Amino acid sequence: MSLPLGFRELGQVEYEPTWHAMQRFTDTRGVDTPDEIWLLEHAPVFTQGQAGKAEHVLFPGDIPVVQVDRGGQVTYHGPGQLVAYLLLDVRRSGIGVRELVSRMERCLIELLASYGVSANAKPDAPGVYVDGAKIASLGLRIRNGRSFHGLALNVDMDLQPFQRINPCGYAGMAMTQLADQAVSPIVFAEVSARLREQLSKHLDYAQQQSLAGVIDS
């Protein structure tokens, strides 16, 4: 790509203002607007995708449940999970949604391999898995040829809230995280930096740039 890929490091942010900011960015961008990726963590929240069924939210307790406009079923976001929102003009790049999902999965698989963790994708269940346990979830929305939402990688977090739902609509799905799979200690900022490099590579960007770590929320 001739335009640089912009990255915003947002830290820990609330879900709903970030979601609405994604929508605004997507709806107001022009034909020449550079693509952006937002890297962040969320305060604890369950998000229910467009295909989500209420029976997959078992006992949320004090964690809010937000109905959102991405694909997929219910998932959990919380501190220690690395989230990347891909705000891409896929019409301009010519990347179809299936190809984009495949690239996201390859990006995560290569990142995990850099920590000595062998992971794989499943053709019937988008995401990335280690020995059958899910370590990363994917969920996208394409509107007017532009993508938003993205991926969530479990790095070093409390996995207990996943027991309050059927993750991605699968009862009893095992969840795992990088901190439990890697042979050496994990530094969250380093994982984020490696994800940034992998995303640039798999999205065919020769240049990237750091943007201000704030959004119009």
In this predicted model, what pLDDT tens digit does every residue of 170-208 receive, in sequence order? 888 999 999 999 999 999 999 999 999 999 999 999 899
Task: Look at residues 44, 43, 50, 47 and name the one whose alpha carbon lies nearest to residue 70.
Answer: 50
Per-residue pLDDT averaged across 61-65, rounded? 97
Query: Would you say residue 216 has pLDDT above 80?
Result: no
Asked whether the beta carbons of 121 and 129 are under 8 A apart, the reply is yes
Res 217 pLDDT > 70: no
pLDDT > 70 fraction of the chain, expressed in percent and rounded? 99
pTM value is 0.96
70 annotated as belonging to a binding site for a ligand: yes
Whether 107 is a known active-site residue: answer: no
List, in sequence order, every residue forming a beta bridge with 23; answer none if it has no partner.
none
Judge whether 46 and 57 are in contact, CB under 8 Å: yes
pLDDT of amino acid 211: 94
Confidence of residue 55 (pLDDT cuts 50, 70, 90): very high
Model confidence at 134, pLDDT cuts 50, 70, 90, reads very high
Residue with tokens 């969530």: 152
What pLDDT is recorded for position 193?
98
d(CA 168, CA 136): 11
Does residue 78 have a known ligand-binding role? no
**Inter-residue contact 85 to 19 (CB < 8 Å):** no
Burial class (CB in 10 A: 0-12, 13-18, 19+), 27: exposed
> Residue 124 to residues 103, 121, 128: CA-CA distances in angstroms?
16, 9, 12
Burial class of residue 138 in the structure, from the number of CB atoms within 10 Å of its CB (0-12 exposed, 13-18 middle, 19+ buried): buried
Average pLDDT, the chain: 95
DSSP state of 116: T
pLDDT digits (tens, 9 = 90+) for 106-123: 999 999 999 999 999 998
List domains and CATH numbers for the chain: 5-210 (3.30.930.10)
Residue labelled with tokens 């990255």: 7
Which of these is catalytic: 112, 168, 178, 215?
A: 168
20 is in an annotated binding site: no
pLDDT at 1: 65
Mean pLDDT of 84-94: 97
